[in-house]
Amino acid sequence: MRRADWTRLIGILIAFGLCAISYACAKSPPKSAQAPSEKSPFPSRDELSQLGQSPLTPELFDVPMRDVDSWQLRGVLPQRIQLAPYQPASPWEEVLAQRARRSGGTPYPSAAMHCLAREYARFYIVHDIRPTERLFQYMAGACGAIAQGLAAMVLYARVPEAVSDDDLFRQWKNEVDRIVASVQGRLTIAGLAFVREKGRAIVVVVRGERRVELKPLVPFPDGRSRLLIEGRLLVQAERIHALINRGRYGFAECATNPQISLPRFAILCQMAKSDRLSWIQISFLPPGRILARSALHVLARVPGARVNIYQRHLYANSSEAATPEQFTAKLTKALNEVRQRAQLPPLALATRQSEVAAKVAPRFFAAALGKVDPLDADRIALGMIAGWDVEGMIRQGSFWSTLIGETRDVRDGSRPRSSFRAAAMYCSRRMPQSWLSGRCSSSKTNYSGPW
């Protein structure tokens, strides 16, 4: 029997609004200038270097996973996004229900999370490996899961056909009990699924945190291709911000109703008329933090869209890279080819800054995964935005990060694995401002809401 530890989905971490919180964002002093008497919010070059020297366990990011060109979800997918209970239909699912009853409804057994656990289990039992982060997130969106900080635990084994489901349940029950007992938290939502096919059996438990109280939402746009999302934040936040994908390369900001004060919100997102599916991400900025956290993902779709079919969208051809230097060169070339097709100016690689990023990336993602001090992620983001190793004066900095979903060691043909050598995208403006045309985003659309 194989038991895998909790694997978390962290998504994309973004630092936004830095000019509003730091005097240094617009007027960064020359690198040779003396430090001001007032404490700068940006870590010094030495402080950033120390964060990159902290030892970490290599296995922290060594999680086998696989992406596929396409995947079909089974079962009935919800037409409405809401927090709905799941009624257990098997003794396996009853384990989670009993846990919730004993602990006053925590974790909350959600119908959407059961859907997610079921789809995750189906993929694992077919491929003998976990899905990548983006496929996991797609499953969650298609199932209407509102939880964030998603994680999955797997119990898996090859089982002879002679062993009945009842016998298997008796053999595995104590282990399933232990997994379910580890699912804790006041706002935790969970789902459990048992799948058995072709001599294999699997139990998947998924969990996540409910960060919004959402007004039941039908994820179809109106006649003007707009989708209104209303609800209330269940976590403390200074700000809220929403983006929507538009077309193959673009995205746009959604309009937030200024007449509604947090924790309540009303957000209007405009889909591109040519889009069948669009991702919407609502993020919030916790008090005193730099990096925004995700509050909600919504997979918006037009009626009739095949939301049950996951398709991997490729923007460049795959290419082997035997060294970090080759990887960097090929990634930069591919990125600028995509930007050219999107009618955006090319980006120039800051070589020394990239070397710093490679050193601090393991610590950054360990913090994002909650394995070390979470504030280290903020410190590293600020340190990268400070641009200590970027030539010229910094006018404005932004920070994005994401984990690469699948890599393969081409030297030994090993199984696909996630890698701590993750892609961290850093964009800055130098003097003169025309160096990067002042743009780091694909598109931005301003429009008025119905309020």
Give the domain extent around 181: 70-210
Residue 21 pLDDT > 90, yes or no?
A: no
Distance CA 297, CA 293 (A): 11
Confidence of residue 76 (pLDDT cuts 50, 70, 90): confident
Q: How many structural domains compose the chain?
A: 3
The enclosing domain of 183 has a CATH number of 3.40.33
**Tokens representing 95?**
């384990």
Residues 92 and 182 reside in one and the same domain: yes
CA proximity to 68, closest of 400, 313, 341, 244 = 313
Is 1 part of any domain? no
Residues 163 and 241 reside in one and the same domain: no
Mean pLDDT of 260-289: 96
The whole-number pLDDT of residue 85 equals 94
Confidence of residue 433 (pLDDT cuts 50, 70, 90): very low
Residues 100 and 173 reside in one and the same domain: yes
List b or e across 347-359, with b for residues whose CB sees 16 or more CB atoms inside 10 angstroms. Answer: eeebeebbebbbe
- In the DSSP assignment, the letter for residue 30 is P
pLDDT digits (tens, 9 = 90+) for 103-114: 988 899 999 999
- In the DSSP assignment, the letter for residue 95 is H
The whole-number pLDDT of residue 5 equals 56
The whole-number pLDDT of residue 409 equals 44
State the CB neighbour count (10 A cutoff) for residue 41: 17
Is 8 part of any domain? no
Cβ contacts of 168 within 8 Å, gap of 6 or more: 159, 196, 201
CA proximity to 122, closest of 189, 73, 190 = 73
The whole-number pLDDT of residue 170 equals 95
Is 441 part of any domain? no
Cα–Cα distances in Å, from 386 out to 172, 274, 379, 399? Answer: 52, 39, 11, 11
**Last residue within a domain, chosen from 167, 193, 210:** 210
Weakest-pLDDT range from 37-46, 55-64, 121-130, 407-416: 407-416
Residue 343 pLDDT > 70, yes or no?
A: yes
Residues 306 and 323 reside in one and the same domain: no
Is 34 part of any domain? no
Residues of the chain with pLDDT > 70, as a percent, come to 79
Residue 30 pLDDT > 90, yes or no?
A: no
The whole-number pLDDT of residue 393 equals 78
The enclosing domain of 303 has a CATH number of 2.60.40.10
Cα–Cα distances in Å, from 51 out to 56, 350, 370, 371, 384? Answer: 11, 20, 16, 14, 12
Is 446 part of any domain? no
Distance from the first to the final alpha carbon of the chain:
56
Residues 50 and 86 reside in one and the same domain: no
Residues 129 and 88 reside in one and the same domain: yes
Residues 266 and 364 reside in one and the same domain: no
**Tokens representing 198?**
């072709």
What is the chain's mean pLDDT, rounded? 82
Is 79 exposed, middle or buried, given 0-12, 13-18 or 19+ CB atoms closer than 10 A? exposed
**Last residue within a domain, chosen from 249, 277, 311:** 311
Residues 360 and 300 reside in one and the same domain: no
Confidence of residue 7 (pLDDT cuts 50, 70, 90): low
Is 443 part of any domain? no
pLDDT digits (tens, 9 = 90+) for 377-424: 999 999 998 889 888 777 777 888 876 555 444 444 445 444 433 444
The whole-number pLDDT of residue 57 equals 62
Is 341 part of any domain? yes
Residues 49 and 92 reside in one and the same domain: no
Distance CA 263, CA 286 (A): 12
Residue 3 pLDDT > 80, yes or no?
A: no
3-state secondary structure of 326: helix
The whole-number pLDDT of residue 111 equals 97
Cβ contacts of 361 within 8 Å, gap of 6 or more: 420, 421, 422, 424
**Last residue within a domain, chosen from 262, 290, 311:** 311
**447 contacts 422 by C-beta, under 8 angstroms:** no
Residues 400 and 420 reside in one and the same domain: yes
Residues 199 and 231 reside in one and the same domain: no
Confidence of residue 25 (pLDDT cuts 50, 70, 90): very low
The whole-number pLDDT of residue 400 equals 81
Residues 132 and 260 reside in one and the same domain: no
Is 354 part of any domain? yes
Weakest-pLDDT range from 225-234, 288-297, 364-373, 439-448: 439-448
3-state secondary structure of 272: coil
| Placement of tokens 């970090």 in the chain | 324
